[in-house]
Amino acid sequence: MQALQGRIGLFWSGLLMAAVLALPWYKGGATLASALSEGVAGRVWLLPLVGAALALALLSVATRDWRVHPAGAALVGAGLGWLLLQGFGIGLRGPVLPGLGLLFPTAQSGQPGFGWGAWVAGIALIGALAEVLAARGFCRGERFAAFSIIGIVAALSLFVFFPILKLMSAAFVGPDGTLALAPFLNRITASDLWSVGCLTGAGRCGVVINSLVLGILSAALATALGLALALLVARTDFRMKRLLRAISILPIITPPFVVGVAIIVLFGRTGIVTVEVAEWFGIRPTRWIYGLPGILLAQVLAFAPVTFLVLLSALEAINPTLEEASTTLGAKPVTTFRTVTWPLLRPALAAAFLLAFIESLADFGNPIVLGGSYDVLSTKIFFAVVGAQYDLGQAATLSVLLLTLTVAAFWVQTRWLGRASYVTVTGKSDAGLVAPVPPLIKWAAVAAVVPFVVFTVGIYAIVLIGGFVKDIGRMEMAPTFGHLWTAFSFEINANGLQLFGSAWNSMITTLWVSALSAPLTMAVGILTAWLIARQDFTGKRAFEFGTLLSFAIPGTVVGVSYIAAFNVPPIDITGTMAILVICFVFRNLPVGMRAGIAALAQIDRSMEEASQTMGAGGGRVLRDVVLPLIRPAIFTALVYSFVTAMTAVSAVIFLVSARHNMATAYIMGRVENGEYALAIAYSTVLMLVMVACVAAMNWAVGKRRLGRRTGVTGTAQPAE
Amino acid sequence: MTQTAIEFRSVVKRYGDATAVAGIDLAIGKGELVTFLGPSGCGKTTSLRLIAGLELPTEGQVFIAGRDVSRDPASARNVGMVFQSYALFPHISVLENVAYGPVIRGTPKAEAQARAREILEQVGLAGLESRLPAELSGGQQQRVAVARAIVQQPDVILFDEPLSNVDAKLRRKVREEIRSLQRRFGLTAVYVTHDQEEALAVSDRIVVMDKGRIAQVGTPTDLYEHPANPFIADFIGDANLIRGTVAQGRFTAPGMALPVSGPDGPATLSIRPERITLTPGGPDRVVSATYLGSRMEYTVAAQVGEMLVSRPIFEPRLKAGQDVSLHITDTDVSRVA
């Protein structure tokens, strides 16, 4: 065992040696010099790192166990600290921290961003740090768990918290790099943020007020509609239950602005419905749909399925014997509903409302398409960065506001509602029959749901047809594949397959990014879930809250924060495909994590402990026992991250470049140009690809039922 | 005790502010079966997990086979463990379950499976190798769990309440199986249970734990007949605890006087219910008489208070309300305080 641990130690110090001696330290490919040769050539601040690497290698060979040696811990800590200090302290054009300039005169010429050498050195130092901590009892001495935790914390700090902090600092820092509170105060108190003119009838409202009004209306309507849907499915003999469940999946695979485009095609000034109404009733076509009504319509259609799922599971979790008890005590159905069912549903209603509220605030696709002159925070942030005047300070200030709102809503949801949920399922089988809702409520629900279904069907009909007719916006319904051909034309000639269509570039990038980020997201998410569900370590609660918090950060804010953080050394990765992949991995992390935690809760922990006592380390336990048993959750996480990566627009719109454009950003551009048919055709292709993936998931999960079922048997009373 | 297999030296385990194990010193000999017994929350399972390496001590050291393993994770120790839920891997066959440990530790697969087959045969499961765990009965699953734990010739085998998932009727049989396997393989075993009868039946020595400390260590006979304090007397079997005073080698309490050893002053005696004899007529009265099939149980109002008395079923039966006298001799009592 000692020998093995010695070997592992040698691995990390060997990796560190390779990183400082052999790999190109800086990014860009202009120079392939290692840290050692760069250090000798004048960037002397790299030499301490080389020294630390050599000392650590010496220590791991000379001592019996370098991990418990005080010098080992000191070297690793100092190495990691110095790596970060010099990286962030000396920028592209010279020292950022003045002290470093005095210490190293040659630093005036600056240094490029981290390259392979620096990244590998960082990973090696993190690995060594995990070894040092595990040897001191962290994670019960499990090295794999220690490495995972430290690695994930480092990654989250780098790719979630560092960008947010950087963005916040951009809100307070003037263009010359000094602290400037006055501009921040000016911006944050500006009347175009807070004006309530539209409510008092004196002009327009501020962006914040607009966002809040939209968020509250949208969340309230979506919750009401979701409740109507849930009641119909769970508590009535309504015949279209399957259709309703199918409709609830649609928003997951729909790019955010597709609904918006379809609404324009239907209700825009030259829209199908508008024109018909004008002919029949002589109402003059207007642009009424642009603004609050249009965004609201699109958001309610998009979020109702989300609230529906939340409320459906809450309704199904209510123990029917409670309602039966009320009936046996003499209550009429309406009274039972009012005094038992409704109070039990209240926490779920609040949760659904807050969820839709967060989604509405974070929504970017619908406001940008349908907003007209109705500005909301997310679009305003976008125009502050992308518009005519690049104003990062303004974007940062708005982002701080938006982030405060969503995080506050998220905080309320997790803290306050977490305690108030009434779970009445006890594990005992309660053979009660669910009480059907009173007729009055049933018909109210039907009245709400029918228009929803009609709208949804209409909108998806537009999406299906629109891409394959000449111009659906003007009702020219001649079938054509022209739009598809514009986007995806190709030719097979002497040079092989040649892709000419304008959309190929973005489609291929999208597939690459999705295919790369989905397994990474799944891996990091499941690993995080395993750490949270199974490991005890110092700081676990903060770790858990940190990972969940990234869920509450709106995509727009993520996009701006990545621009703020990653277009300068040491980590200058804007314009690469890597930044797109990283962005998706950390945005979708909570999804994989939740799937993993739910699956792990079903699995008896002692199976993992059995594996450990038989000699398996953490990684082996994960591979042999955990992963085979939670395979369905793995597939769910995988496909969900894949689909989200294909449909997301808010964060990537900031991060795409001419070379690495993504499908959603490309479609966005077509929408802005009014090329609706092309946009719709492309969206259809995108959705078909995703449907194929969902089908693949269903197929794969369906085959793997066995593992889960027997997994549960392991925890329950074994059959005699 | 020939050779020490496991040793606890001032072991403390804390979780934040809560102390699960509050300082334990203990040595377990090679080939011994030692039971940790105590009420829930007494630290017995934590102590077991400290041996397994599933928990690391906050303070103190744990030695297995003479080596300090206090900082070694479970995977670096050579222990076998039988879990309460058996924890068989549901997705692989019985054979693969048993061969899992040797494979992990680097034995070639064919050799590991041959060894697993051999062990499975010894525990009477030959022919079931290719089944999945869910296709076995509870008793068979448990034998697989035991086979899996002993296949690597561990320094110690740990049992975490192994009978709690076994049908009440089968418990006696299964615990005898465990005991005979342990003897046959000459295994050092540590066994956790909260059932005192199970502990008495299966152990060489019992470690009674209370609030994270060791209350008493001894053979089953020691503990039952010479409990060290009122907690042990009450926890293992039933006991009548009588408070009185000792002066010049004589214990006195209302209506009772017995010779006892030990210092003068206030004292508590423990008297087992089956050690008390009753004769009709006298100063005491039967409050209730309960027929239990194998014996009669009486509650008797005596001058010292209510006494629980247990009598064989073939003795003449007494009725509630009857006057009786209690008979206790000095060899029937033990001083617990």
pLDDT digits (tens, 9 = 90+) for A55-84: 988 888 888 778 888 888 999 999 999 999
Q: For residue B154, what are its two tokens?
A: 């561990």
When CB atoms are compared, the residue of B85, B91, B104 closest to A620 is B104
Does the beta carbon of A620 lie under 8 angstroms from any beta carbon of chain B? yes
For residues A169 and A391, is the Cβ–Cβ distance under 8 A?
Answer: no
Q: Judging by beta carbons within 10 Å of its beta carbon (0-12, 13-18, 19+), is residue A105 exposed, middle or buried? A: exposed
Does the beta carbon of B144 lie under 8 angstroms from any beta carbon of chain A? no
Q: How far is B79 from chain A (nearest CA, A)?
A: 6
- What pLDDT was estimated at residue B204? 95
CB contact under 8 A, A615 and B101: yes
Q: Mutating which of B15, B45, B79, B89 best tests the A interface, going by the most A Cβ atoms within 10 A? A: B89
Q: Which residue type sits at A228? A: A
d(CA B7, CA B1): 13
**pLDDT above 80 for A270:** no
Say which residues have a Cβ less than 8 Å from residue A439's Cβ, sequence separation at least 6: none
Does the beta carbon of B87 lie under 8 angstroms from any beta carbon of chain A? yes
Q: How far is A697 from chain B (nearest CA, A)?
A: 21
Hey, which CATH number is domain A499-715, 3.40.50.300, 1.10.3720.10, 3.40.50.11540, 3.40.50.2300? 1.10.3720.10
pLDDT digits (tens, 9 = 90+) for A501-511: 788 888 889 98
- What pLDDT was estimated at residue B286? 95
When CB atoms are compared, the residue of B84, B138, B149 closest to A606 is B84
Residue A704, helix vs strand vs coil: coil
| Chain mean pLDDT for chain A | 82
For residues A162 and A176, is the Cβ–Cβ distance under 8 A?
Answer: no
Selected residues 600-619 of chain A with any CB under 8 Å from a CB in chain B: 604, 606-607, 609-617
Residue B62, helix vs strand vs coil: strand
d(CA A215, CA A125): 45
Does the beta carbon of B101 lie under 8 angstroms from any beta carbon of chain A? yes
CB contact under 8 A, B133 and A719: no
All residues of chain A having their beta carbon less than 8 Å from the beta carbon of residue B94 are none
d(CA B252, CA A695): 85
Does the beta carbon of A707 lie under 8 angstroms from any beta carbon of chain B? yes
Q: Work out the number of other CB atoms within 10 angstroms of the CB of residue B237.
A: 18
d(CA A647, CA A253): 7
**pLDDT above 60 for A5:** no
Question: Which pLDDT band, with edges at 50, 70 and 90, does A705 fall under?
Answer: very low
Question: Which pLDDT band, with edges at 50, 70 and 90, does A392 fall under?
Answer: confident
When CB atoms are compared, the residue of B75, B80, B88 closest to A617 is B75
CB contact under 8 A, A609 and B101: no
For residues A219 and A303, is the Cβ–Cβ distance under 8 A?
Answer: yes
Does the beta carbon of A627 lie under 8 angstroms from any beta carbon of chain B? no
CB contact under 8 A, B74 and A612: yes
- What pLDDT was estimated at residue A336? 84
Q: Work out the number of other CB atoms within 10 angstroms of the CB of residue A425.
A: 10
- At A114, phi and psi to the nearest 5? -60, 135
Contacts 24+ apart (CB under 8 A), B101-109: B101/A614, B101/A615, B101/B148, B101/B151, B101/B152, B102/B151, B102/B152, B104/A611, B104/A614, B104/A615, B104/A616, B104/A620, B105/A614, B105/A615, B105/B152
Q: Nearest residue of A to residue B137 by CA position?
A: A720
- At A436, phi and psi to the nearest 5? -65, 145
Say which residues have a Cβ less than 8 Å from residue A656's Cβ, sequence separation at least 6: A580, A662, A665
Q: How far is B179 from chain A (nearest CA, A)?
A: 21
The mean pLDDT value for B40-53 works out to: 93
Weakest mean pLDDT among A26-35, A228-237, A620-629, A684-693: A26-35
Please, which residues bridge with residue B252 across strands?
A: B245, B257
Q: How far is A612 from chain B (nearest CA, A)?
A: 5
CB contact under 8 A, B71 and A137: yes
d(CA A40, CA A25): 13
- What pLDDT was estimated at residue A718? 27
CB contact under 8 A, A718 and B91: no
Weakest mean pLDDT among A465-479, A531-545, B222-236: A465-479
Laid out side by side, the sheet with B323-327 consists of B305-312, B295-302, B277-291, B323-327
CB contact under 8 A, A610 and B83: yes
When CB atoms are compared, the residue of A613, A713, A718 closest to B79 is A613
Residue B103, helix vs strand vs coil: helix
Does the beta carbon of B104 lie under 8 angstroms from any beta carbon of chain A? yes
Rg, Å, chain B Cα set: 24
**pLDDT above 70 for A422:** no
Q: Which residue type sits at A492? A: I
Question: Which pLDDT band, with edges at 50, 70 and 90, does B282 fall under?
Answer: confident
**pLDDT above 70 for A419:** no
CB contact under 8 A, A612 and B137: no
Closest CA to A574 of A513, A511, A660, A645: A660
Query: Judging by DSSP bridges, how do beta strands B189-193 and A94-95 pair with one another?
Result: unpaired
Alpha helices (H) along A575-651? 577-600, 605-613, 618-621, 627-629, 631-647
- What pLDDT was estimated at residue A50? 92
CB contact under 8 A, A612 and B55: no
Dihedral of the CA atoms A233, A235, A236, A240 (nearest 10)?
A: 0
The mean pLDDT value for A312-333 works out to: 81
For residues B258 and B331, is the Cβ–Cβ distance under 8 A?
Answer: no
Q: Nearest residue of B to residue A609 by CA position?
A: B54
Query: Judging by DSSP bridges, how do beta strands B33-37 and B205-210 pair with one another?
Result: parallel
When CB atoms are compared, the residue of B53, B56, B90 closest to A711 is B90
Does the beta carbon of B54 lie under 8 angstroms from any beta carbon of chain A? yes
Q: Output the DSSP codes for A302-346.
A: HHHHHHHHHHHHHHHHS-HHHHHHHHHTT--HHHHIIIIIHHHHH
When CB atoms are compared, the residue of B52, B86, B138 closest to A719 is B138
For residues A685 and A484, is the Cβ–Cβ distance under 8 A?
Answer: yes
**pLDDT above 50 for B237:** yes
Q: Mutating which of B48, B49, B91 best tests the A interface, going by the most A Cβ atoms within 10 A? A: B91
CB contact under 8 A, A718 and B79: no
Q: For residue B333, what are its two tokens?
A: 């009592």
**pLDDT above 70 for A433:** no
The mean pLDDT value for A345-370 works out to: 89
Please list, residue by residue across A487-526, b when 16 or more beta carbons sit within 10 angstroms of its beta carbon and e when fewer do. Answer: bbbeeeeeeeeeeeeebebbbebbbebbebbbebbbebbb
The mean pLDDT value for A673-680 works out to: 86
pLDDT top residue among A702 and A362: A362
The mean pLDDT value for B239-262 works out to: 89
**pLDDT above 80 for A474:** no
pLDDT top residue among A236 and A584: A584
Q: How far is A117 from chain B (nearest CA, A)?
A: 33
- What pLDDT was estimated at residue A712? 31
Q: For residue A96, what are its two tokens?
A: 């950022």
Closest CA to B49 of B17, B16, B15: B15
Q: How far is B148 from chain A (nearest CA, A)?
A: 9
Q: Which CATH architecture has domain A193-425+439-466?
A: Orthogonal Bundle (1.10)
Q: Mutating which of A607, A613, A624 best tests the B interface, going by the most B Cβ atoms within 10 A? A: A613
What does the angle CA B253 – CA B258 – CA B260 come to, to the nearest 5 degrees?
110
Question: Which pLDDT band, with edges at 50, 70 and 90, does A456 fall under?
Answer: confident
**pLDDT above 50 for A704:** no
Selected residues 201-240 of chain B with any CB under 8 Å from a CB in chain A: none
Residue A620, helix vs strand vs coil: helix
Domain boundaries, chain A: 2-136, 193-425+439-466, 499-715
Q: Nearest residue of A to residue B150 by CA position?
A: A614
pLDDT digits (tens, 9 = 90+) for B180-190: 989 998 999 99
Q: Is the dihedral of CA A634, A639, A645, A647 positive or negative?
A: negative
pLDDT top residue among A62 and B323: B323
- What pLDDT was estimated at residue A29? 64
Domains, chain B, ordered by start = 4-234 (3.40.50.300), 238-335 (2.40.50.140)
pLDDT digits (tens, 9 = 90+) for B82-129: 998 889 999 899 999 999 999 998 899 999 999 999 999 998 899 999
- What pLDDT was estimated at residue A711? 32
Q: Nearest residue of B to residue A5 by CA position?
A: B76
| Chain mean pLDDT for chain B | 91
Rounded to whole angstroms, the maximal C-alpha distance in chain B is 77
Closest CA to B94 of B126, B52, B139, B49: B126
Q: Which residue type sits at B20? A: A
Domains A193-425+439-466 and A499-715 share a fold: yes
ipTM computed for the complex: 0.84
- What pLDDT was estimated at residue B145? 93
**pLDDT above 80 for A4:** no
CB contact under 8 A, B53 and A612: yes
Size of interface A-B (CB pairs under 8 A): 123
- At A111, phi and psi to the nearest 5? -150, 150
For residues A493 and A483, is the Cβ–Cβ distance under 8 A?
Answer: no
- What pLDDT was estimated at residue A700? 66
**pLDDT above 70 for A359:** yes
Q: How far is CA B311 from CA B164, B302, B305, in A?
A: 30, 17, 19
CB contact under 8 A, A615 and B91: no
Question: Which pLDDT band, with edges at 50, 70 and 90, does A300 fall under?
Answer: very high
**pLDDT above 70 for B19:** yes
Say which residues have a Cβ less than 8 Å from residue A184's Cβ, sequence separation at least 6: A171, A172, A393, A397
Weakest mean pLDDT among A192-206, A361-375, A598-612, B298-312: A192-206
pLDDT digits (tens, 9 = 90+) for B128-153: 999 999 999 888 998 999 999 999 88
When CB atoms are compared, the residue of A141, A606, A625 closest to B73 is A141
